[in-house]
Amino acid sequence: MLLFNSANCQVAGFAIATVGWILTTTSMGLVEWRVWYLDNTSLFPSGLVCVGMWKVCIYHHISNYNRATFCHHYNYRDTYLPLDIRVSQNLLLVASILGLLGRASLIFALRNACMGALQKNATFNPFVASGILNLAAGICISIAVVWNYHSVMNEEGITFPPSLSIPFKPNTQEIGNAFLAACLAAFMMMLSGLLFLSYKFPMVSQVHPQTSEM
């Protein structure tokens, strides 16, 4: 297929993979994976709690606006974290590393292509390796995304330390912007992976010299 062997397709795939990797690393640091809305009670004041993969931030309603009052960073010794968050932490780390390796392999393949080394043994393996790495990264992100969505839809709670003054379950909860960024990252990583896996048999043009008969 000529489409998957063109320079424009290669550059587009590189751009998609790059944006997908940036979104992957960005979603890891965002805190809005789960958004909890708290009503005012005698034990807990009204406010907003954003539960991320690496930290939780508490916002309280003060004069009709939200203000961040405290953010608590997790560590691997925190046993109160549910299984889905602990597994998703590792999945997102693995996805970030796989995406970085995929970009390195893709840069090597594009370098060979730009230098005119279009033989199968020069570009086939790096392109396919990049496709496999990006596809694996997209799968890791997708697992974290689906698990987080399942937890929010089932209104699962988290037993935070008493010092944080966060109830086990909020009155209402919903998915946040980090979830949407991770969804887009998973889509772009898998799209770039499939794109470069389609670049399986590069077309090689051979020039055969013609001999004229006298």
Tens-place pLDDT, residues 159-208: 998 888 888 888 899 999 999 999 999 999 999 998 888 765 444 444 44
- Rounded distance between C-alpha atoms, residue 66 and residue 152, angstroms: 22
Q: Reply yes or no on whether the pLDDT at 34 is more than 90.
A: yes
- Rounded distance between C-alpha atoms, residue 49 and residue 60, angstroms: 9
Does 90 or 130 have the greater pLDDT score? Answer: 90
Do 133 and 139 contact (CB within 8 A), yes or no?
no
Question: Could you give the 3-state DSSP secondary structure of residue 68?
Answer: strand
- pLDDT confidence tier of residue 42, bands split at 50, 70 and 90: low
How many helices (H) and strands (E) the chain has is answered by: 4, 5
pTM for this prediction: 0.80
End-to-end CA distance of the chain: 40
Does 209 or 140 have the greater pLDDT score? Answer: 140
Mean pLDDT of the chain: 81
Predicted local confidence at residue 85, as pLDDT: 94
Other C-beta atoms closer than 10 Å to the C-beta of 57 total 17
- pLDDT confidence tier of residue 26, bands split at 50, 70 and 90: very high
3-197 is classed in which CATH architecture?
Answer: Up-down Bundle (1.20)
Structure tokens belonging to residue 194? 């499939």
